[in-house]
Structure 1
Amino acid sequence: MPVRLTLVLINRVVHCLLLLFMAVPTSACTIFVLTDAQRTLFFNNEDYSNPATRMWFLPAGKGYFGCAYVGFDDGWAQGGVNTKGLAFDWVAGFDEKWVPTSAMKRVQGNPSERMLETCATVDDAIAFYQKNLEPSFSYAKILIADKTGASIIIGAENGKLHIDRSSQSRGFGYGGQTLSKSLSAAPKPTLANGIPILQACLQEGIYATKYSTVYDLRMGEISLFSLANNQEEVKLNLANELAKGGHYYKIPEIREELVQVPMPLLPLMKRFLWEGYPPIANIDPAITQRIKSILERVAQGRLQESDFTPEFWKGISAAQQESQAELAKLGKLLSLTLLERQQTANQSSYLYCIDFENATILQRFTLDGQDRVAMIKSEAAEQKNELKKREK
């Protein structure tokens, strides 16, 4: 990686992701629920341009349920199901006025992940979104269903939160016309009835359907399909997967990965970026203050040559204005938390969780024997939810 890029990566990662996700298709993804007194199935076609699809599992912890999520390689869940039989997914492409109330709280990370890990029913989900901010409602609607067959579609209407409740089979999205026709016949909730509907709602082109999922909300079974490629069902059990601990699959390679040692969660797939790091004493507060001062000088466009090794300085000195402009997009620097410290004979490495107003970043700083910065490497970056665009 070029030296110059390593400095601006602290903000360039977030900036590039933002630009990428601003392009939302007019109407994408198809979601529907089939339900009766015995069974509730939640169906989804995931339509988007990114082929790097993922499924990941987070076991339960104190105060939150075990969950399975689906999405892409940025770790921002687009849909999921929990151990209480609650599932959600999104359809983007709307254009609504949305004025959240001043009482709504901003949550850390992805609001729908925070919802799924703490809610057991659609009533719980309603209460969550009445209290917590979800910026996506200005251009997207969420379908949430629980194992009783109750479902809600939440979005914005006339600036306010709009909640549409039902206990019948229903759906919406890209395949809306097909759904209206198919669901009018009141099909029983079976895979045999639902899969042909998903197939009829497949999207082609740049936002072609990347995968299809079915959740059995009472049994905790997950069915995964690549219908566009005519691949057979991959069946998973939520409880069994959670018993393996936190892990993920690359959906295109899931058949091979299921017989291999599970891959540990990437930082962006964890509940929070800093999870998994044991508490560490900050025995070098002067180093932390030095790193903070360097970041502040980047924001001011006033880097000092003495803070860096000669080789690193050669690569970054001409990029100060660019770095300053990019860092400004992250907003105010709120805090630095030391997560990891490594020491060798000639260098020391410090991993920090850096919280900005608009993003949280895991950033590693490598210092030489004179405590000069020799390398800056971004290991993960998560945008705050006001900036994040849903990918469908």
Structure 2
Amino acid sequence: MKQIRRLFLALLLVFSLNANSCTVFSWAMKGEVFAAANEDDYTPFTRIWFNPATAERFGSVCFGAPDLQIAAAMNEYGLFYDYTAQYGVDLAKIALKNPYQGDLFFEIIGKCKTVAEALEMLKTHDYSFTSQVLLADATGNSVIINPGNITPKTGNFQISTNFNICDLKTGYKCDRYDTADRILSNAKVASVKTIESVLNFTHQEGNLSTQYSAIYDLKRLKIKVFLFHNFEEAFEIDLKSELSKGYRLELLSRYFSPTFAYTDYVSNHELFKKETLLSEIEKVGYENAKEHYLSVARNSQDPKEKTAILDIAIQLIRDANNEHSNGKVWAYWFGFPDGFNPKKYSDKRLDMAKTLLLELSKSESDAKTRHFEFEMIAYLNWLRDEMKNAAIFYRKAIENPADSYPVSYNRSVKMLANLE
């Protein structure tokens, strides 16, 4: 079981900006402008979050997995992006002048209204991850971007799947690309009905499954979302209206009736225990949920349950960060440069996370996990401006490098350097 816990935590410490498969396309024809995507992944429990405009950023809506890495987003001007996993690029062979260490496209939709404006920004900010990105705007313009390459749209539509778009003319193999290309090529007008057909014919099932599908009307700023390749029920979003309600982060599934297929899929997923426990906060309130979590942390003999409590603590920190950073990915967690001087703030989710981590660390038998818990406690002390305690726990986190996760150890060393 220790090996399972270590593997699971190791996976939590990875930043990829990769969807696992996915079919993404833009389509502009006779005045209609759309983007659409099937989001294929092994992880359900998709989140959706709305980020109202600030003095520094345009408003936006984002979709992503529980780790809150953004899979797809659209801003209040209809600038959209979505990732596809892409295996034909070797970063070691590409000389990037200005590699950007962070979620570059989230920064772009915060500051740019069009693809043209984004391309200006990309002149001084190089995309430095192996995934491929389709960027589209309300004027009908779109490009596909991967490290060292930008491919503009040349016809009415542009499709991105899982081969390097640079290989489009020299040779590729992708049935989903061919299916989408055939349907869109034969269409006389750009319509939601045709897009639904493309998404239906290219969706995937099994462990790697289409978690949700979305159609973005980039001119009208409306989105039609389907859950788990069920095209009989849709959640429709008017972005302007939703942004006027303020920030919120939610489970996408709450807007849909449960189907047998989705319920069966999620109930057999490794995150089901954590997500079920996490839902208690909404049902019974923070204090009652916290007491239950503490009881599990103190008394459970099931390592999976204790791992679920640890995951809840991390999720609470992620969720708080998401709100206080206007929807941004947790930079510290992924080791981005701007994450090592985090702003200080208070949030009841952080208080609960710290309480849970302190309790878990008392009985944690796995040294690497215990040192990771110390690191997270140190980080939470930093956010509360309790620098003395932050230093104490960061030192505990690195007391034996061999008994620490390398990513956790390296973060702790950097934070201690900032403290000293």
In structure 2, the partner of 1:194 is 195
Q: Note if 1:277 corresponds to 2:345.
A: yes
In structure 2, the partner of 1:357 is none
**Contact conserved, 1:56 with 1:70, CA < 8 A, in 2?**
yes
How far apart are residue 24 of structure 1 and its match?
A: 7.0
Partner of 1:79: helix, strand, or coil? strand
In structure 1, the partner of 2:411 is 330
Specify every segment of 5 or more residues in structure 2 that has no aligned partner in the other structure, as ranges: 163-175, 258-281, 283-315, 331-341, 348-381
How far apart are residue 15 of structure 1 and its match?
A: 3.2
How far apart are residue 34 of structure 1 and its match?
A: 1.9
State the TM-score, normalizing by the size of structure 2.
0.61
In structure 2, the partner of 1:267 is 320
In structure 1, the partner of 2:27 is 34
Alpha-carbon separation, structure 2, partners of 1:95 and 1:334: 36
In structure 2, the partner of 1:181 is 182
**Contact conserved, 1:79 with 1:90, CA < 8 A, in 2?**
yes
Task: Encode CA deviations 1:155-196: one digit per residue, 9 max, x unaligned.
Answer: 13xxx3333343622213161010121122244221111101
In structure 1, the partner of 2:57 is 64
How far apart are residue 331 of structure 1 and its match?
A: 6.6
1:12-27 alignment, distance < 5 Å = 15-18=10-13, 25=20
Partner of 1:35: helix, strand, or coil? strand
Alpha-carbon separation, structure 1, partners of 2:247 and 2:212: 22
**Contact conserved, 1:24 with 1:92, CA < 8 A, in 2?**
yes
Alpha-carbon separation, structure 2, partners of 1:128 and 1:20: 23
In structure 2, the partner of 1:365 is none
**Contact conserved, 2:224 with 2:237, CA < 8 A, in 1?**
yes
In structure 2, the partner of 1:132 is 125
1:327-366 alignment, distance < 5 Å = 327-330=408-411, 332-334=413-415
Task: Encode CA deviations 1:189-244: one digit per residue, 9 max, x unaligned.
Answer: 21111101110001122211011001111111111113623431211100111111
In structure 2, the partner of 1:162 is 150
In structure 2, the partner of 1:152 is 143
How far apart are residue 293 of structure 1 and its match?
A: 4.4
**Contact conserved, 1:106 with 1:133, CA < 8 A, in 2?**
no
Between 1:97-106 and 1:220-229, the stretch displaced more is 97-106
In structure 2, the partner of 1:224 is 225
Cα RMSD, aligned residues only? 3.7
Partner amino acid, structure 1, of 2:234? E
For these two proteins, the number of residue pairs brought into alignment is: 295
Q: Of 398, 403, 406, which residue of structure 2 is paired with 1:299? A: 398
Specify every segment of 5 or more residues in structure 1 that has no aligned partner in the other structure, as ranges: 302-319, 338-353, 355-392
Alpha-carbon separation, structure 2, partners of 1:167 and 1:130: 24
Partner of 2:398: helix, strand, or coil? helix
Judging by fraction of residues, say which structure has more strand.
Answer: 1
Alpha-carbon separation, structure 2, partners of 1:44 and 1:325: 35
In structure 2, the partner of 1:288 is 387
Alpha-carbon separation, structure 2, partners of 1:227 and 1:113: 25
Partner amino acid, structure 2, of 1:178? T
Identity %: 21
Q: Could you say which structure has the greater relative contact order, defined with CA pairs below 8 angstroms and 6 or more residues apart?
A: 1
Q: Is the alpha carbon distance of 1:183 and 1:331 closer, same or farther for their aligned partners in structure 2, counting shifts above 3 Å?
A: farther
Between 1:232-241 and 1:174-183, the stretch displaced more is 174-183
Judging by fraction of residues, say which structure has more helix.
Answer: 2
Q: Note if 1:101 corresponds to 2:169.
A: no
In structure 2, the partner of 1:172 is 160
Q: Note if 1:80 corresponds to 2:73.
A: yes
Partner of 2:180: helix, strand, or coil? helix
